[in-house]
Amino acid sequence: MTQKEIARRGLMLVLSSPSGAGKTTLSQKLLSSDNGIVMSISVTTRPPRSREVDGRDYHFISEEQFERLVEQNALLEHAFVFGHRYGTPKELVDVELEKGRDVLFDIDWQGTQQLDESARDDLVKTFVLPPSWDELEMRLRARAQDSNDVVKSRMSKAVDEMSHWAEYDYVIVNRDIDHALSQIMSILLAERLKRKRQIGLSEFVKNLNPNL
Amino acid sequence: MTQKEIARRGLMLVLSSPSGAGKTTLSQKLLSSDNGIVMSISVTTRPPRSREVDGRDYHFISEEQFERLVEQNALLEHAFVFGHRYGTPKELVDVELEKGRDVLFDIDWQGTQQLDESARDDLVKTFVLPPSWDELEMRLRARAQDSNDVVKSRMSKAVDEMSHWAEYDYVIVNRDIDHALSQIMSILLAERLKRKRQIGLSEFVKNLNPNL
């Protein structure tokens, strides 16, 4: 029996940050460099955009289906954004956690607070800070190619998101994407070694010596 | 300001294991591969053995000095072993933690329990398990070159120590020394990224944007 085979319960890794801090790139790099973690797929009432695939980007469902999930208490968190509803289905996450696979969440502080209430023991909350405010503004401007007003509104949303950094377990500064990725990998690897997540440890120790 | 310069409080990394599980080798490798962590140096009333250096291996002190430290509540933990007293001086550890340096402890479950009471927030408790009982016995026999009775008594001490694995935050199986070292490094790196240990974060965030 190798250590890999000690049964473990998966964890829920939350990455939050103001937009422009590099969270999306970090998520993609993390998913492609580690086989043990998958992206959480939300349900939404929003219609699919071009190139979006049902079951890969989102599970696209009707208002009625969404309402039923809320009534059944089947969502770990949900939100209403620009006229559409979004949520995280509990069952899809549980299936992964029970298989010993980790689930990655790219959500804001409000979603994180809801997850904290519905799934605290499985949650690992990480906040990604930008290295400087100028750099954040530059990234948002480059991305937006929009009017000053749009950039201003995004910056104010960034301030709001960032004000919640102290609600997180871990905080990293994304100065260099590869260094930030290695920091997230360390957090993930360490959290997998937490005793409470290694649910097969009692059995492993009993097999070592029946007196234990 | 680089992330390294965000002030942090050091942590106390405890490694416990039955003897023969490779803890001493792991400690030495960890100390030589990371500049941010130093070994805790105990005080003891035992006389120095040949090659032991005062202030490097132990701080050798008198019974009276030891007694005074106990009375002043200046020890984080202490124990009486084979007629001699051993203890961890609080002040020496605090100086390192305040400089943002981590301190490594190679202690048993009893010492760990005392540290838990005196310094819980700074403590990261890691237990190292052997891959198999046969291997543990083999290592103890090889080391002892002693009578069966001595080996038996060591094995029974190993069972006692190992029975406390569930009191630790992290558990690793030392199947391969380099893999085990990388796991301990991940734990150390992740724990350094805990928000609560990065005491300079508020200032860093305020410098990012005065509205925060």
Structural domains of chain A, with CATH: 3-40+101-208 (3.40.50.300)
Tens of pLDDT, residue by residue, chain A (212 residues): 444 589 999 999 999 999 889 899 999 999 999 999 999 999 999 999 999 999 999 999 999 999 999 999 999 999 999 899 999 999 999 999 999 999 999 999 999 999 999 999 999 999 999 999 888 888 888 776 667 888 888 888 899 999 999 999 999 999 999 999 999 999 999 999 999 999 999 999 999 988 87
Give B-chain residues touching A208 at CB under 8 angstroms: 129-130, 132-133, 162
At residue B20, the pLDDT reads: 86
Give A-chain residues touching B193 at CB under 8 angstroms: 170-172, 183, 186-187
Computed on alpha carbons and rounded to an integer, the radius of gyration of chain A in Å comes to 19
Tens of pLDDT, residue by residue, chain B (212 residues): 444 589 999 999 999 999 889 899 999 999 999 999 999 999 999 999 999 999 999 999 999 999 999 999 999 999 999 899 999 999 999 999 999 999 999 999 999 999 999 999 999 999 999 999 888 888 888 776 667 888 888 888 899 999 999 999 999 999 999 999 999 999 999 999 999 999 999 999 999 988 87
At residue A196, the pLDDT reads: 97
Between residues 50 and 69 of chain B, which touch chain A (CB distance below 8 Å)?
none
Q: How many residues does chain A have?
A: 212
Q: Name the residue facing A171 among B132, B201, B209 (closest C-beta).
A: B201
At residue B1, the pLDDT reads: 43
CB-based contact B170 A194, cutoff 8 Å: yes
At residue A146, the pLDDT reads: 65
Q: Which two tokens stand for residue B211?
A: 């509205």
At residue A145, the pLDDT reads: 66
Q: Which residue has the tokens 């003891």?
A: B44
| d(CA B65, nearest CA chain A) in Å | 39
One-letter identity of residue B11: L
> Model ipTM?
0.92
What is the distance between the alpha carbons of residues A109 and A131, in angstroms, rounded to a whole number?
Answer: 20
Q: Which residue has the tokens 């904290």?
A: A116
**DSSP character for A10?**
-
Give B-chain residues touching A201 at CB under 8 angstroms: 165-166, 171
Q: Which residue has the tokens 């219609």?
A: A47
Q: How many residues does chain B have?
A: 212
What is the distance between the alpha carbons of residues B170 and B106, in angstroms, rounded to a whole number?
Answer: 15
Give tens-digit pLDDT for B54-110: 999 999 999 999 999 999 999 999 999 989 999 999 999 999 999 999 999 999 999
Give A-chain residues touching B163 at CB under 8 angstroms: 212
Torsion over CA: A133, A134, A137, A138 (sign): negative
Q: Which two tokens stand for residue B183?
A: 């796991």
Judged by a CB distance cut-off of 8 A, whether residue A193 touches chain B is: yes
pTM over 0.90: yes
Characterize B48-63 residue by residue with b for buried, 16 or more Cβ atoms within 10 angstroms of its Cβ, and e for exposed: eeeeeeeeeebebbee
